[in-house]
């Protein structure tokens, strides 16, 4: 079986990847990425081992890096599970008419969460309203998206070159996206952003360790009331 997980919501696609891998707990996991050579992929897929062990192959950003083409996907044996995990949306033309048994899932970042992130500013009147409007699905990725935005705002305050920002961020920002971030950063204090970032990390720790009965939106609201004064 072949799986293609792609789209802009990398947190959601990563969580889906982990769920898929739960189905292959007894399998050897071979992980490749865009820096891997195609020969490594071919050997993992078709190479014969001394010990015939079940294998699942995970290829990160292989399609966007053009390490494999449609023909390669069509040649994957049905019995070999291969997961292509992409950190961006794959061109729809590439995904059409692939002659193979394949499951394709696209993970789109919900629009409301972007409106919420864009409203983060000193004494914003809309911040709490937009936070409350987030759906349960959006709330599940709230911590990741908010920590990422605050990190970018801090980098903007430090006048970090966009080339370095892209390396830290793990995926490239468009010029217009970075312009928007730098303008948003002007309305926020560096010390406040650092306190918010540390607060988000504490909230994430509390939730993951089951040390709080409060949900993400409630905890983030308390954090904003302390530092943003909405």
**102, β-bridge pairs:** 2
Q: Are residues 156 and 196 in the same domain?
A: yes
Q: Are residues 79 and 128 in the same domain?
A: no
Q: Are residues 221 and 117 in the same domain?
A: yes
Q: Are residues 61 and 98 in the same domain?
A: yes
Q: Are residues 77 and 144 in the same domain?
A: no
Q: Sign of the CA dihedral 14, 19, 23, 24?
A: positive
Q: Are residues 221 and 116 in the same domain?
A: yes
Per-residue pLDDT reduced to its tens digit, 15-67: 889 889 999 999 999 999 999 999 999 999 988 765 667 899 999 999 999 99
User: Long-range CB contacts (< 8 A, 24+ apart) of 130-134?
Assistant: 131/217, 131/220, 131/221, 131/224, 132/217, 134/217
* pLDDT category of residue 78 using cuts at 50, 70 and 90: confident
- DSSP collapsed to 3 states, the chain: CEEEEECCCHHHHHHHHHHHHHHHCCCEEEEECCCCCHHHHHHHHHCCCCCCCCEEEEEECCCCCCCCCHHHHHCCCCCCCEEEECCCCCCHHHHCCCCCCEEEEECCCCHHHHHHHHCCCCCCCCHHHHHHCCCHHHHHCHHHHHHHHHHHHHHHHCCCCHHHHHHHHCCCCCHHHHHHHHHHHCCCCHHHHHHHHHHHHHHHHHHHCCCCCCCHHHHHHHHHHHHCCC
Domain of 130: which CATH number?
1.20.272.10
Count up the domains in the chain and report the number: 2
Q: Quote the pTM value.
A: 0.59
Which residue among 72, 106, 140 closes a domain? 106
Q: Are residues 118 and 99 in the same domain?
A: no
Which residue among 106, 122, 154 closes a domain? 106
Domain that holds residue 123: 111-227
Per-residue pLDDT reduced to its tens digit, 97-155: 776 678 899 888 767 898 999 999 877 788 999 999 998 878 888 999 999 999 999 99
Which residue among 106, 128, 151 closes a domain? 106
Q: Are residues 179 and 209 in the same domain?
A: yes
Domain of 15: which CATH number?
3.40.50.300
Q: Are residues 154 and 209 in the same domain?
A: yes
Q: Are residues 156 and 198 in the same domain?
A: yes
């Amino acid at each position: 079986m072949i799986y293609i997980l792609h789209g802009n919501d990398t947190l959601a696609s990563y969580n889906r990847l982990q769920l898929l891998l739960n189905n292959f707990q007894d399998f050897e996991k071979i992980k490749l990425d865009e820096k891997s050579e195609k020969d490594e992929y071919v050997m993992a897929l078709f190479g014969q081992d001394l010990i015939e062990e079940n294998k699942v192959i995970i290829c990160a950003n292989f399609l966007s890096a053009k390490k494999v083409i449609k023909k390669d996907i069509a040649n994957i044996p049905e019995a070999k599970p291969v997961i292509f995990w992409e950190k961006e949306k794959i061109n729809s033309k590439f995904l059409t008419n692939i002659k193979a048994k394949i499951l394709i899932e696209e993970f789109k970042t919900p629009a409301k969460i972007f409106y919420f992130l864009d409203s983060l500013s000193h004494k914003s009147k809309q911040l709490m309203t937009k936070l409350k409007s987030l759906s349960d699905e959006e709330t599940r990725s709230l911590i990741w998206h908010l920590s990422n935005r605050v990190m970018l705002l801090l980098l903007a305050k430090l006048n970090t070159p966009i080339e370095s920002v892209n390396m830290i961020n793990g995926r490239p920002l468009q010029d217009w996206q970075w312009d928007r971030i730098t303008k948003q950063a002007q309305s926020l204090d560096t010390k406040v952003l650092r306190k918010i970032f540390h607060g988000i990390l504490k909230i994430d720790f509390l939730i993951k360790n089951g040390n709080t009965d409060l949900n993400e939106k409630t905890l983030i609201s308390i954090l904003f009331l302390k530092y943003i004064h909405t």
